[in-house]
């Protein structure tokens, strides 16, 4: 029996997905996208990847579903354009939402949103940081720049998780939602990074990120661009008495 994944992100069901299960879902979606983008006979761009289009079987293995908006890239084609943007806001990449440009990197952006949602137990479209006016992506970026990435993690997971794995997943999620498509990894790199087989570059600010009174450029030289990575961070874990 298959169930829609996003129902596990509501308040009553979040506790039913432990850290290992969430990590396996994150990894399984990555392998599924890798197949669509590189291993399939045809390169398939999903264009509407979101939690409600991820199904879980009885063993909580993820299955990508609903290919009604999917497009095929032929031959050496790496991207395409459309005058009719269709998809779900909150998951669409900036270049697709604004210019109608889609590629495997637009799916990568959507995947990054799903990763951050699974880690936090919150949905990007519903999240609101009233103090800083951030969506979930901006909130994750702020915690990263303040060197408090573990605060993003769903509170129901904090006592039973692998902190280094969590930080690696947060970093992968942020890398996938970079503003510029060329700054995002492809899915083969994502799979390697999740498995700890690849050094992770440092992310810049995510797409659709707006800070108070600051207009960020894609090639920003702000000090935050030289932040720590999961390869070098030291972690202090506070345990309840």
Say how far apart CA 180 and CA 183 lie, in whole Å. 5
**Which of these, 78, 76, 106, 88, lies nearest to 184 by C-alpha position?**
106
Q: Are 52 and 4 in contact (CB under 8 A)?
A: yes
The catalytically annotated residue of 10, 39, 48, 57 is: 48
Q: Are 5 and 54 in contact (CB under 8 A)?
A: yes
Q: What b-and-e string marks burial along 142-168, b requiring 16 or more CB atoms within 10 Å of the CB?
A: bbbbeeebbebbbeebbeebebebbbb
Annotated catalytic residue 10: no
In terms of phi and psi (left: phi > 0; alpha: psi -120 to 50; beta: otherwise), the region of 61 is beta
Say how far apart CA 136 and CA 110 lie, in whole Å. 13
Say how far apart CA 142 and CA 110 lie, in whole Å. 20
Active site members: 48
């Amino acid at each position: 029996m298959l169930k829609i994944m996003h129902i596990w992100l509501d308040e009553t069901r979040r506790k039913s997905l432990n850290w290992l299960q969430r990590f396996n879902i994150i990894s399984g979606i990555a392998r599924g996208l890798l197949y669509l983008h590189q291993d399939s006979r045809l390169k398939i761009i999903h264009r509407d990847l979101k939690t409600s289009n991820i199904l879980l079987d009885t063993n909580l293995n993820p299955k990508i579903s609903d290919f009604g908006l999917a497009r095929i890239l032929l031959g050496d084609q790496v991207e395409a354009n459309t005058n009719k943007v269709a998809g779900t806001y909150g998951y669409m990449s900036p270049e697709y939402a604004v210019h109608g440009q889609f590629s495997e990197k637009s799916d990568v952006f959507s995947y990054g949103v799903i990763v951050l949602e699974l880690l936090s137990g919150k949905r990007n479209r519903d999240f609101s940081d009233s103090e800083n006016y951030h969506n979930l992506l901006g909130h994750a970026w702020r915690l990263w720049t303040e060197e408090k990435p573990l605060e993003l993690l769903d509170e129901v997971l904090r006592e039973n998780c692998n902190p280094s794995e969590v930080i690696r997943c947060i970093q992968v999620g942020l890398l996938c939602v970079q503003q510029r498509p060329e700054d995002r990894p492809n899915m083969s790199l994502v799979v390697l990074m999740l498995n700890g087989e690849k050094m992770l570059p440092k992310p810049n600010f995510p797409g659709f990120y707006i800070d108070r009174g600051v207009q960020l450029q894609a090639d920003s030289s702000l000090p935050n661009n030289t932040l720590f990575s999961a390869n070098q961070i030291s972690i202090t874990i506070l345990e309840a008495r």
